[in-house]
Structure 1
Amino acid sequence: MDNSVLRDDMVDGLEHSLELLPEAVSIAMRSVPRHEFVTDSPYQNRPTEHRDTNTTILAPTTVARLLAALDPQPDDEVLVVGAGVGYTAAVLAEIVGDARVHAVDITRSLVYEARENLQRAGYGGVLVDCRDGAEGLADYAPFDRILVEASAVRPPARLLAQLADGGRLVMPKGVGEQTLVAVEDGEVAESFGPLSFKPLLVDGEQTGSIVRNRTRREDPEYEGRGWHAGHGWEQDWIDWGGSG
């Protein structure tokens, strides 16, 4: 069957199953050739595991929920934390323009793959860089919208600092039980129900690394504060056995 027909069927299903799918998101998802980003049944509504990394490629319904919560507007400057294979960035590029979409991922091989996928699909203007997501992309800030495709206890301070006035950050908030939230002016402005994401990684946690130190994930400044500073408390977070 023709990919465009499969794509329309996919979005028809999303419109039926989701309470509200913004028209802009629907049109964008009907336009983006998902088969350029996902090779395994690209138009089935299910998540898949990336073949080479410990990364989940989001199901279309999850992408739609994230973007509905993000509410991107034409000409917004957008940052995606967790570029993955590049599909979410491509959908955003359809809405705001590819030159206004920036994405980061901590896994270098995924950065290369996302760049190639986006170029092949016609979204070569999207900037994809290898960065610690909690650090954001300060060189291109401020952003009107920031989408974090990983969970954290609270929004990383440096991402909040990179939001434009009136900007909106969307992320899965919590550990274990998570809720999709939109943050404005440093506070949760809206909640959009439960979902489950892997945690936001910091340098040393990407695929193939030995050290797994998560102390900087939530708030980089926390390491230097209080009684624990300089006492090695962070070593409790390290997997010294090297399992990756």
Structure 2
Amino acid sequence: MDAAVLREDMVDGLESPPREVLTDETVAIAMRDVPRHVFVGDERTAYADREHEILGTRVLAPKTTARLLQALSIEEGESSVLIVGVGVGYTAAIAAELAGSRNVHAVDIARPLVFEARANLHEAGYDEVLVDRRDGADGLPEYAPFDRILLEAAAVEPPRALLEQLSDDGRLVFPRGTHRQRLEAVSPDGGRERFGSVSFDPLLVEGEQPGAVERNRTAREDREHARRHARSRRGWEQEWVQWEETIDS
């Protein structure tokens, strides 16, 4: 069957009962235009509402992708977007349809996925999307600020660097939590908007790769909390106490 017909069927299924997860027409149009089979590599199953695993990372099911993009609320042709955890590039391609390829930037901590995303985006016609290998918690400060940031990995709190790279009226969407997660949108002023439950892999830290036996999500967050605590202390609390005197027995 023609891929365009399969895309139409996929989107129709997301808009109709029993799923009814896709309600934003601009996102629906973008998902109808992006050739998902280029990113999945299997035209027979690319348009089924299911996940795939490629190079140790999950390619989100279409219904999950739709929920992310709707929560992100990209303004067509006007938003500067950062995708953290680009994976194979499918979400970035939909963002490019909404914001324009030149306005979309993406990072991933895994070099093989960066190469895969670049190749897929090139084949699908989104050459101008910039994809770089970075620790996602650091964002992409060279191109900040961003109107929209999508973190496709779970965290207890959004990394400080990502919040600092938002524009004044920006919006960061991420899965909040550990075992039980909820999709959440945050703004620089501390405003929050909560959506439904989700299930994502944790945000990797530098040195980890997808598919590793253990992913220490808390390592980065522990370092960040320690830095915040150190900044909050003043005066004598920051100085070492040196016990130089000895007690003669």
Q: TM-score, normalised by structure 1?
A: 0.87
Q: 1:45-95, CA deviations, whole angstroms, 9 ceiling, x for partnerless residues?
A: 001111x32x11100000000000000002200000000000000001001
Residue of structure 1 equivalent to 2:101: 98
Give 2:183's match in structure 1, choosing from 172, 180, 183: 180
Q: Cα RMSD between the aligned structures? A: 2.1
Q: 2:155 is matched with which residue?
A: 152
1:27 maps to what in 2?
29
In structure 2, what is the Cα distance between the partners aligned to 1:77 and 1:170?
Answer: 14
Could you give the per-residue CA deviations for residues 118-164 of structure 1, whole angstroms, max 9, x where no partner exists? Answer: 00100000000000101100000000000000000011111000000
Alignment partner of 1:127 is 2:110: no
Q: Secondary structure at the match of 1:103?
A: strand
Alignment check: 8 A CA contact 2:83 2:105 kept: yes
1:103 and 1:173 mapped to 2: Cα distance?
20
Q: Hey, what's the Cα distance between the residues in 2 that align with 1:210 and 1:37?
A: 25
The 8 Å contact of residues 155 and 218 in structure 1, kept in 2 or not, is answered as no
SS of the residue corresponding to residue 28 of structure 2 reads: helix
Q: In the alignment, which residue of structure 2 is the partner of 1:7?
A: 7
Do structure 1's residue 76 and structure 2's residue 79 form an aligned pair?
A: yes
* Pairing of 1:223-238 with structure 2 (within 5 A): 223-224=226-227, 225=229
Give TM-score scaled by structure 2 length.
0.85
Secondary structure at 1:49 match in 2: strand
Describe the SS at the equivalent of 1:173. Answer: strand
Give structure 1 stretches of 5+ with no counterpart: 230-244
CA distance in 1, matches of 2:58, 2:216: 21
Pair 1:191-2:208 in alignment: no
Match of 2:241 in 1: none
Q: Cα 1:49–1:165, aligned 2, differ >3 Å: closer, same or farther?
A: same
Cα deviation per residue 1:100-119 (whole Å; 9 max; x = unaligned)? 00000000000000000000
Instruction: Using the TM superposition, name which of 189-198 and 205-214 deviates more.
Output: 205-214
- Quote how far apart the aligned CAs of 1:187 are: 2.6
Instruction: Give the fraction of aligned pairs with identical amino acids, expressed as a percent.
Output: 58
Pick the aligned partner of 1:88 from 74, 88, 91. Answer: 91
Aligned match of 1:42 in 32, 46, 54?
Answer: 46
1:20–1:48 CA distance, 2 compared to 1 (3 A)? closer
Q: Secondary structure at the match of 2:168?
A: strand
